[in-house]
């Protein structure tokens, strides 16, 4: 059976504080009483406290876009897992392709971030995905397998339950090119079988695997119709409330809007 869709919007480095709070308040009003969808947003770190307050007790998740891998210490400019947990965040993005490629984050750094997030009960949304070059070389499964192996190294059965996996092909992020729903589903199946081999079939089936990469209202239904796609990580189309709501509506059409 399909899970309740989990749709989360990554604002990246966009919006003003006032725009973000207005967005959160309107989202809260619109989603009030809508039980058949799980929804969340990832605001910039300096907005997190205000957005958490605006969404308190709403059931809408707030995720940090980043944390450091160490618990605390001399890391000027960085933010710890405990800091974002303390102000009310439930989730954190880890391994986003922009962090991997622009900020040169390695698999072992990502693994350390996952562990520190779990240690304070912050749920990682662990992003993985291949580049266009890797796909064209026929190395998609190899890359995904490696990112999963390294990112989840040392994560046991109890902890894996708190992780959401987001498959985001790098060539589809912010490019307007979406993976074909079947193409995405194929990789999701591969991820599911990796998880099943490591943690057992039941746990693997319960885990959320989101798709991300140029998601918009027009392709949401088709993506969400795929058996292995449990939710969406939305970038560009999550910055405007109207387009984000259209995606949420399309993802949950059958039951709640
Ligand atoms: C993202 O930032 O995770 C993302 C998927 O971006 P976009 O939807 O803009 O491709």
As a whole number of Å, the CA-based R_g of the chain is 17
0.85 cut: is pTM over it?
yes
**Beta-bridge mates of residue 39:** 7
How far, in Å, from the CA of 215 to the mean position of ligand 1? 7
- In a 3-state reduction of DSSP, which class is residue 118? helix
The rounded distance, in Å, linking the Cα atoms of 147 and 101 is 14
Task: Please indicate whether residue 173, judged by its CB atom, sits closer than 6 Å to ligand 1.
Answer: yes
**Residue 253: its pLDDT value, please?**
58
Q: Which of ligand 1's atoms lies nearest the C-alpha of 127?
A: 3
Cβ atoms < 10 Å from Cβ of 157? 10
Q: What is the DSSP letter of 209?
A: E
* Alpha-carbon gap, residue 183 to 186, rounded angstroms: 5
Dihedral angle at the C-alpha atoms of 9, 13, 15, 16, nearest 10 degrees? Answer: 130
pLDDT in tens, the chain (257 residues): 899 999 999 999 999 999 999 999 999 999 998 888 999 999 999 999 999 999 999 999 999 999 999 999 999 999 999 999 999 999 999 999 999 999 999 999 999 999 999 999 999 999 999 999 999 999 999 999 999 999 999 999 999 999 999 999 999 998 888 889 999 999 999 999 999 999 999 999 999 999 999 999 999 999 999 999 999 999 999 999 999 999 999 998 544 44
Please pick, among 91, 105, 168, 188, the residue that the annotation labels catalytic: 168
What token pair was written down for 155?
Answer: 């994560």
CB atoms within 10 A of CB 123: 20
Is 168 known to be catalytic? yes
Of the candidates 176, 159, 178, 156, the residue with the CA atom closest to the CA atom of residue 167: 178
Beta bridge mates, 231: 6, 210
The token pair at 253 is 């059409």
Which of ligand 1's atoms lies nearest the C-alpha of 214? 10
188 is catalytic: no
Q: Count Cβ atoms below 10 Å from residue 154 Cβ, excluding itself.
A: 9
212: tokens are 């991300």
For the chain, the residue count is: 257
Ligand 1 centroid – CA 56 distance (Å): 26
H helical segments located in 139-240: 140-151, 157-160, 181-199, 201-206, 217-224
Q: Is the CB of 10 under 6 A from ligand 1?
A: yes
* Domains of the chain, earliest start first: 6-27+38-71+79-252 (3.20.20.70)
The Cα–Cα gap between 166 and 98 comes to 14
* CA–CA dist 154, 217 (Å, integer): 38
- pLDDT score recorded for residue 95: 98
Out of 96, 105, 130, 188, pick the active-site residue. 96
Token couple for 33: 């009483």
Q: Is 184 in the pocket of ligand 1 (CB under 6 A)?
A: no
């Amino acid at each position: 059976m399909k899970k309740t869709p989990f749709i989360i919007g990554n604002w990246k480095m966009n919006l003003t504080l006032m725009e973000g709070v207005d967005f959160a308040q309107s989202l809260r009003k619109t989603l009030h009483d809508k039980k058949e969808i799980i929804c969340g947003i990832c605001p910039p770190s300096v907005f997190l406290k205000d957005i958490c307050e605006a969404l308190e007790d709403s059931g809408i998740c707030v995720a940090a876009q980043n944390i450091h891998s160490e618990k605390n210490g001399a890391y000027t400019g960085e933010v710890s897992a405990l800091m974002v947990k303390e102000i009310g965040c439930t989730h954190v993005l880890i391994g986003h392709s922009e962090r991997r490629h622009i900020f040169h984050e390695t698999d072992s750094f990502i693994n350390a971030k996952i562990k520190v997030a779990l240690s304070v009960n912050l749920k990682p949304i662990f992003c993985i995905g291949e580049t266009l070059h890797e796909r064209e070389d026929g190395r998609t499964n190899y890359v995904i397998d490696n990112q999963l192996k390294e990112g989840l190294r040392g994560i046991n059965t109890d902890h894996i339950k708190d992780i959401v996996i987001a498959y985001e092909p790098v060539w589809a992020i912010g490019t307007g090119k979406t993976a074909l729903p079947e193409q995405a589903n194929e990789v999701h199946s591969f991820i599911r079988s990796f998880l099943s081999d490591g943690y057992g079939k039941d746990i693997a089936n319960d885990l959320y695997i989101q798709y991300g990469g140029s998601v918009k209202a027009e392709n949401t239904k088709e993506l969400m119709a795929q058996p292995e796609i449990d939710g969406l990580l939305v970038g560009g189309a999550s910055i405007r409330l109207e387009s984000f709501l259209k995606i949420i509506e399309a993802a949950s059409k059958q039951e709640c809007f």
